Amino acid sequence: MSTQKIIFLDIDGTLIDYTQQLSQSTREALHLAQIRGHMLMIASGRSKPSIYPWLLNLGFDGMIAGEGAYAEFRGKTIIESAIPQAQISRLYAYLDDQKIGFYEESNSGLHGNRYFLSETARSFGISQEVAAENLQKAFPGLTFDHQDYHLDVNKVSFVMRPGICKAELEEIFGDYFRIGIWNIFGKGRDFGDFTQKHVTKASAVAVLLERLGLNREDTFAFGDSFNDIEMLQYCQTGIAMGNAAEELKAIADHVTNAVTEDGIFNAFKHFGLI
């Protein structure tokens, strides 16, 4: 066991709150952990283009993005696991045919289909202009009105609406994809996503540790949602935020305060990371 720890941190609801703000206490905790020599890694469901540049500029050693489909360490790409063409083409065709608003998350950008903006506006009861502004603030690099699939897609996110049945989607696409439900503002079930069944944050952590020659016993993981469950279980110490889903709290080694209540700082202090 090393005194240097590897700390994997989710973004939304963990590092930042649902107004996309990073608290001063979290900023201080990250800085103090870096001074102590610990490695800091982002581990997000977001794909790389939607991770805020100002967040990356805080000096993280690397990232896991796209639910584990992509990873890099100190500027070097470690994992690139795009959805195969046969799978992304059939998924794109089905969603577009059903006039479901969705966007592809790829390493080159975020590509909304021709229904994504209007469906998002309808879902939130706002104009398309306001929807576009809010979406591009939350997801930098998002563009709209694409009419064909791309070949470097990590995952696909779609707008929930009445009539969309998760069980039906799982019956059609469950041979290859895992279907999840998520939201932007920390409540509700606004969006769903398709991710590759064999790819998770935990699988990416395992590959990173092996490639970099690091020990699993030196790992910490922080998260707040369902897509963090495997990562918290895999890492030596799994920490759920106070605002986390109850299912995550149930499997965590430790539950800290909420993201808006100095949760990261208090947990770093509790475990002697700072």
pLDDT, tens digit, 9 for 90 and up, residues 179-228: 988 876 555 558 999 999 999 999 999 999 999 999 999 999 999 999 99
Query: Residue 65's closest CA among 2, 127, 139, 132?
Result: 139
CA-CA distances (angstroms) from residue 168 to 86, 123, 154, 179?
Answer: 20, 21, 22, 10
Q: State which residues of the chain have pLDDT below 70.
A: 184-189
Q: What is the pLDDT of residue 184?
A: 66
Is 0.95 topped by the overall pTM?
no
Q: CB–CB of 90/84 below 8 Å?
A: no
Question: What is the tens place of the pLDDT at every residue in 52-76?
Answer: 999 999 999 999 999 999 999 999 9
β-strand pairing of 191-196 with 153-159: antiparallel
- What are the helix (H) ranges across 49-186? 53-56, 85-97, 116-124, 128-138, 166-173
| Single-letter amino acid code for the residue at 174 | G
